[in-house]
Structures are given as structure tokens and as C-alpha cells.
Amino acid sequence: MKHWAAAMEAAKDGRTSLPSLQTMADRIVDDVVTTANNRIGQVLNDAVKQLAAALYWEELRKFIAATVGVDEKEAWYIFTPGGSGDVMFAMSFLKAFRERNGGPVILVVPSPFQSLSKLYAGDYDHVVPINPRWDFLSRIHSVKKGEPILAGNSGVPTAGDWLVLLKIVTLNNLYCLLMGLPFHTEPTPPRMPEGAREAARSILETCGLRPGRTVILAPFSRSTTTPPMSWWQELVQALKQRDYDVATNVAEVLGNSRLETIEGTVPVSCLHEQVTALVEEAGFFIASRSGLSDIVSFSNATMRFVYASQNRQKEQNVCAVIAPGDCQSVPRNRPLDPTRAFEWEVDDDGRFDEAILAGF
């Protein structure tokens, strides 16, 4: 198979890069799938896919180790696929992992989340912001020094295996399982980086928003169906009647265009490393359940985490009906002061209820 031979030559000569590794791995699998389908069937197909994954990992490990200057077989490699919440959950267990297993620990994060890693600086030895092929890595997932540890839901063989646990355990439990930690290991809260609070105050001042009297709304989510926009617009009016400034988070971390601003609000955005400080300086935060709400839940602020009704989610064909009480529930994963922060499920008809503002 010509692509296999080319891969061996490139690896031997050191002519590899992350894009070329991924392309070679794809071509090897294509070659073998064609051969297997034509000749000896699925067994060889699966076996060589596994072999291609191993080849991909061997070269990826060399690439990462050379980037940070460590012995490639003596490091721990923690990969964090998924969205911002997934990445944050994985990072919240790095301190416990390092204390249990020693170092060096190399954190491999998707490029958009390099800023997020600053919230856990000191819990790992090196960070490498790249976007590897999770499908190859998931085939060789293990908890072993020198091997890739896939600390994210791409490490679970199928989505169904992940979803069946929704009502039984928490995301904290699942990440402990993926990282080989005792099941009830406590996560580490994020730490506010130096300069984050000053940056947050500057953002509020630039936007003309009052510290301690601003409510930041974050209606958009990749995790669940959100309440209708009419609900958010009624919320804005109710907040303004109470003399609050109202802002909409418009930061989109995955490289897409900025998110839509709710009518009548001020658009705000900041880096991941500044978001907890921004919410604390503003004073108030209301958001659809999302990765952002996972990060912000550690803030010392008045917060509400909003879910669309389960019936509405089912109508819109949401695969996992995410609601208060399931494994992604914020209070199930960390304690919250119920006088300041709690979850709220919107009625089926999307009707706004001012009771959500109790305590404002």
C-alpha cells in the first residue's frame, strides 16, 4: 500500500507535521478499507484502523514532546476534546491527577481554548494548543504514562454510552473515570489570572455599564435548546424596570461570527481567562445551560442557569434532554449558594415568570 510506505518514509526522515500526520492516517485507512472490503472483510479493516491510530499517535507524541522539550515516553498527555465546559471539567481534575501520578503533565487543548487553560495555570507543566484527530485517539484511549488520555466525551465509544449515564452520575464522576481518578475526587476551582479583574473593570467602563448593577445575559448554547428569544426580551424589560444595566455576551469561542445581541442590551465579550472576573464585577449573570455557565458558576455573583422545558427540547429533536437534575446540572457538579444561584426551567409555552428574579 503506497500511502503506508510514504508514511513510514516521512516518519523515518522526520518530515512530519500535524496536518501531514492527519492526512497520512486518513489515506492509510482509506487504502485498507478498500482492500478489506474487496478481500478479507471487516476484521482486517478494524485491525488496520487500529494500527493506523497507533502510527498516528506515535508521530503525534513525538511532535508534542518536541514542542515542549520533554522525553516523549516519560510524560502524561491529557487531551481535552469538546466545548468550553468539557475542557474546563477536564482541567479541574489536573491538580488531583498530577498529585496522584506525578509529572510532567502536558495539557493538549483545542486552539480556541488556550485562554481557558490560564484559569488552571500551575496544575500542569506544559500546554500545547492544537486540534488533533479525536477519532484516531479514541481508539487507543488509556490511562498510562506516555499514552494519550482522552479526557472528554469523545473518549467514550458511542454517544449512547455517554447518554445512558446522564441520570446516574455527574460530569465530575465521568471525568474522574476517564482520567483514572477515584470516582468522587473533588474538582479544583479555576483561579483568576493576574490582571483579569482590571481587564473586566475596563470592559465595563468602556461599554458604559455600572459595576454591581449590570446583568450579563448569555442566551446561546451548544449544550441544549434555549428558551425562545421572546422570553429573553421580556427578561430585559423586567431588569430595566429594576434599574439594571443589561448586556449580552457575544463572544463565540469556536471561531464563528460574533453572537447576536439581544435587542435593547449592550454587547460585551472577553477572553475565557477574564470571564469570571467580568461576571463578578458586573454582579449578575443569567445564562442558558452551556459550557460558559460551567465556567461562570464559580463566580461570586448572583446567577441563574436557564433550561428550556423538556417538552420543548423533545419537540426540537434534542438528542439528550438536558434539564435540572441530570449529570450536567450545575448544582450537581459543584455546591451553589441557593440564595444567589440556582437553576430555572422555563414553561412549555415560553412564558416569562418574574419569580426568576427573586433576590435581584
Please report, in angstroms and rounded to a whole number, the separation of the first and last CA atoms in the chain.
67
**Percent of all residues in the chain with a pLDDT value above 70, rounded to a whole number:** 72
Q: What is the mean pLDDT of the chain?
A: 80
pLDDT at 227: 87
CB atoms within 10 A of CB 118: 18
Residue 32, C-alpha cell as written in the block: 485498507
Place of cell 460530569: 171
Q: What is the DSSP letter of 155?
A: G
Give dist(CA 257, CA 90) in Å, integer: 26
Give dist(CA 130, CA 110) in Å, integer: 5
Q: Measuring CA to CA, how many Å separate 113 from each of 10, 69, 80?
A: 30, 22, 10
- Whether the link from the prior residue into 104 is cis, omega within 30° of 0, is yes
| Residue from 26, 164, 13, 18 nearest 4 by CA | 26
Beta bridge partner(s), residue 266: 247
Checking if the pLDDT of 164 tops 80, the result is no
Whole-model pTM over 0.85: no
pLDDT in tens, 135-144: 777 766 667 7
Which CATH number is 196-357 given? 3.40.50.2000
Checking if the pLDDT of 239 tops 90, the result is yes
Determine the 3-state secondary structure of 126 from DSSP: strand
pLDDT in tens, 272-307: 899 999 999 999 999 998 888 889 988 899 999 998
For 288-317, the three-class secondary structure string (H helix, E strand, C coil) is ECCHHHHHHCCCCCEEEEEECCHHHHHHCC
pLDDT at 178: 84
pLDDT in tens, 17-45: 666 656 666 665 566 555 555 555 555 56
173, amino acid identity: N
pLDDT band for 317, please (50, 70, 90 cuts): very low
pLDDT band for 205, please (50, 70, 90 cuts): very high
Checking if the pLDDT of 58 tops 90, the result is no
User: Taking a C-beta distance cutoff of 8 angstroms, is the pair 283, 253 a contact?
Assistant: no
User: Taking a C-beta distance cutoff of 8 angstroms, is the pair 65, 72 a contact?
Assistant: yes
User: Taking a C-beta distance cutoff of 8 angstroms, is the pair 4, 31 a contact?
Assistant: yes
Domain boundaries, the chain: 1-67, 70-191, 196-357
pLDDT band for 318, please (50, 70, 90 cuts): very low
**270 or 51, which is more confident:** 270
